[in-house]
């Protein structure tokens, strides 16, 4: 078999694989949005849920989803950012740092339900938070922390060494070089990592079932982080599995479509400024 034939077979294989994957994703999008969009309305998106009768909304669940997302990012971003900077800049290459990196890699592959059980034991039982938005957000932050650490370390390492050396040569301290040179240069990659963990937090359900609970506040919106807070993804599971409302299937389809639209819009709203920033940092290229 000649090299041209091998190259042609490989090209056909990769194109076919890409088309199949895109086709599967398109089928999922069309199926979920096609079934769910007819159920979306102003009352459904912002109204309160019903326990027995039909016609309930998902407003509190949608609010709780963004509330958990915000609190989890407030916890995970600073810790993950500084940990990644430490591993990339300050940490020496020895057995301890190798152990830390292996531990981070191992934690990033742990199933989310394990984090949910750990969060239930730690935050709900040991720390006495019970089922609460704060406990759920803290557990989601633990889930996303390994990813944030790895993304930050890799983003800092991709910045050319000449940036770092030039900044130090001009008399700046390490912290000044990190804050004014490395972080701005790595910002597009960091934004991509934050978008990744944010989408993961919006769609998480296994963790929040054990930590945030399956109920919502009577008040809407309720900013108390110590109350129970069912999110949209958890509500989708609950309606499909245990709900008694007669229109449970329609609520589940509408919730799935709304969750998908929210994740897509969130990624779009974050990716556009990231691309603009990347073009400015690269001189418009």
Contact at 8 Å (CB) between 84 and 150? yes
Strand, coil or helix: what is 47? coil
Rg (CA), the chain: 23
Contact at 8 Å (CB) between 53 and 248? no
pLDDT of 281 reads 60
Average pLDDT along the chain, 285 residues, taken 10 residues at a time: 77 90 91 88 86 81 91 92 88 82 84 89 88 91 90 87 82 84 84 85 87 83 86 86 79 88 84 70 55
Only one residue has tokens 């930050």, namely 152
Q: How far apart are CA 219 and CA 74, in angstroms?
A: 24
256: Cα separation from own chain's centroid: 17
Q: How far apart are CA 206 and CA 208, in angstroms?
A: 6
Please give the angle made by the CA atoms of 17, 19 and 22, to the nearest 5 degrees: 110
pLDDT of 69 reads 92
pLDDT of 282 reads 56
CB count in 10 Å sphere of residue 284: 6
pLDDT of 247 reads 81
Within a 13 Å sphere around the CA of 199, how many CA atoms are in the beta-carbon half?
Answer: 17
Only one residue has tokens 């609520």, namely 251
Q: How far apart are CA 175 and CA 197, in angstroms?
A: 26
Within a 13 Å sphere around the CA of 79, how many CA atoms are in the beta-carbon half?
Answer: 13
Within a 13 Å sphere around the CA of 232, how many CA atoms are in the beta-carbon half?
Answer: 29
Q: How far apart are CA 153 and CA 84, in angstroms?
A: 4
Contact at 8 Å (CB) between 212 and 124? no
CB count in 10 Å sphere of residue 83: 20
115: Cα separation from own chain's centroid: 15
Q: How far apart are CA 181 and CA 94, in angstroms?
A: 27
């Amino acid at each position: 078999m000649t090299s041209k034939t091998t190259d042609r077979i490989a090209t056909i294989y990769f194109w076919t694989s890409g088309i199949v994957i895109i086709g599967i994703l398109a089928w999922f999008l069309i199926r979920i949005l096609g079934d769910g969009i007819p159920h979306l309305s102003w009352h459904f998106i912002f109204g309160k849920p019903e326990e027995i009768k039909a016609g309930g909304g998902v407003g509190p669940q949608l609010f709780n989803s963004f509330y958990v997302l915000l609190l989890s990012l407030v916890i995970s971003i600073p810790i993950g950012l500084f940990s990644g900077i430490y591993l990339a800049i300050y940490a020496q290459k020895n057995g301890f740092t190798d152990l830390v990196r292996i531990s981070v890699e191992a934690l990033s592959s742990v199933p989310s339900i394990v984090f949910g059980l750990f969060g239930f034991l730690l935050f709900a039982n040991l720390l006495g938070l019970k089922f609460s938005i704060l406990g759920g957000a803290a557990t989601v932050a633990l889930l996303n922390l390994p990813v944030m650490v790895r993304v930050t370390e890799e983003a800092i390492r991709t910045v050319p060494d000449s940036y770092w050396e030039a900044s130090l040569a001009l008399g700046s301290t390490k912290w000044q070089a990190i804050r004014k040179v490395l972080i701005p240069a790595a910002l597009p990659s960091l934004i991509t990592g934050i978008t990744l963990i944010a989408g993961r937090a919006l769609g998480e359900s296994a963790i929040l079932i054990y930590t945030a609970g399956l109920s919502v506040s009577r008040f809407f919106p309720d900013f108390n982080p110590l109350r129970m807070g069912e999110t949209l993804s958890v509500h989708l599971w609950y309606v499909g599995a245990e709900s008694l409302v007669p229109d449970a299937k329609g609520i589940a389809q509408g919730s799935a479509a709304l969750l998908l639209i929210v994740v897509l819009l969130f990624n779009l709203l974050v990716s556009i400024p990231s691309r603009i920033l990347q073009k400015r940092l690269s001189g418009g290229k």
